[in-house]
Amino acid sequence: MRVLLVEDEKRLADLLKGGLAGEGFAVDVAHDGREGLWMAGENPYDVIVLDVMLPRMNGYTVCSRLRDAENWTPILMLTAKDGEHDEAEALDTGADDFLSKPFSYVVLSARLRALVRRGGRARPASIRVGDLVVDPAGLRCHRGGVEVSLTPKEFAVLHGLARRQGEVVSKGELLAQAWDFAYDGDPNIVEVYVSALRRKIDAPFGRSSLVTVRGAGYRLEA
């Protein structure tokens, strides 16, 4: 698995590169934003670790330019401690995940493996699954031209399924998509929202697109 690490603190970059290499990652390092942007555009990476505070071009700009160029390599951004605005801007500019400094190397490694499992793929402004249209930017959903009203949490679950249409998505993956890593409630809450989605996106239109795969999760089909 090939990783691009964009980090200007050379000691930290060396430590991370050594640790990741020891786990079997092939790691390339860039020490400023412009170099990182160039390397990301020239080489196929499985995942990018991108610091926010970089010389020559900050991490937000690098991330935004990669997405504008339709480069959908998963990006994990490293943000300031307790930087809620940093975290929000990281996600808004197209990052897939973030970690606040200082962070646990064990958590970083686990997050990278999770991002690699998900993989990068083109994510257009609207996602079409048959006659179902999911608009992540506008938080809107249409079926056959008819707008379907969803709560924010229902939309988050639907988006998690739509972006991986045709694939089985587990409860755990939907929890990570629609809730957060600190959620310690009943994982069966996912079933409640899946049932609500079926009542809204399937039943009124005579469809059966949201399928339960016993023991594995759910699949959204065209």
Does position 136 have pLDDT exceeding 80, yes or no?
A: no
Overall average pLDDT of the 98-121 stretch: 82
Here the contacts of 138-146 (C-beta below 8 Å, separation 24 or greater) are: 141/201, 143/201, 143/205, 143/207, 144/205, 146/205
Answer yes or no: is pLDDT of 20 > 60: yes
Q: Note whether 199 and 135 are same-domain residues.
A: yes
The CATH number linked to 144 is: 1.10.10.10
109, 134: one domain: no
The whole-number pLDDT of residue 76 equals 94
Q: Is the same domain home to 171 and 209?
A: yes
Is 163 within 8 Å of 120 (Cβ atoms)? Answer: no
Same domain, 112 and 131: no
Residue 219: beta bridge partners? 211
Among 94, 89, 3, CA closest to 43? 3
Residues 194 and 138 in one domain: yes
User: Considering only 127-131, 135-139, 216-220, which range has the smallest mean pLDDT?
Assistant: 135-139
d(CA 12, CA 18): 10
124 pLDDT band (50/70/90 cuts)? Answer: low
Confidence of residue 36 (pLDDT cuts 50, 70, 90): very high
Q: Quick one: 114 and 135 in the same domain?
A: no
- 30, β-bridge pairs: 6
Q: What is the pLDDT at residue 103?
A: 84
Which single residue is written with the structure tokens 């010389």? Answer: 55
What average pLDDT does the chain have?
86
Instruction: Looking at the structure, tell me whether residues 50 and 9 fall in a common domain.
Output: yes
By residue range, what is the domain housing residue 216? 127-220
From 60, 94, 119, the end of a domain falls on 119
Mean pLDDT of 29-45: 93
pLDDT at 14: 92
**Among 78, 102, 119, where does a domain finish?**
119
- Over residues 148-164, the mean pLDDT reads 89
Kindly indicate the confidence band of residue 188, based on its pLDDT and cuts at 50, 70 and 90: confident
Question: Could you tell me which residue, 119 or 91, shows the higher pLDDT?
Answer: 91
**Number of H-type helices and E-type strands within the chain:** 8, 11
* pLDDT band for position 82 (cuts 50, 70, 90): low
Q: Cα torsion at 55, 60, 65, 66 (round to 10°)?
A: 100
Largest CA distance in the chain: 59
Q: Please check whether residues 147 and 110 belong to one and the same domain.
A: no
Indicate if 68 and 150 belong to the same structural domain: no
Closest CA to 113 of 56, 184, 46: 46
Is the pLDDT at 181 greater than 50, yes or no?
A: no
User: Are 32 and 134 found together in one domain?
Assistant: no
Position 127 scores a pLDDT of 85
Better-scored residue on pLDDT, 14 or 70: 14
pTM of the model: 0.56
CATH of the domain at 81: 3.40.50.2300
Q: φ and ψ at 25, to 5 degrees? A: -80, 145
Q: In angstroms, rounded to a whole number, what is the distance separating the alpha carbons of residues 177 and 121?
A: 16
Structure tokens given for 80: 């300031």
| Position 153 confidence tier, pLDDT thresholds 50, 70, 90 | confident
DSSP state of 96: S
Asked which of 88, 119, 150 is the last residue of a domain, the reply is 119
How many of the other CB atoms lie within 10 Å of CB of 218?
A: 22
Residue 43 sits in the same domain as residue 100: yes
Same domain, 113 and 165: no
Pairing of strands 140-143, 146-148: antiparallel
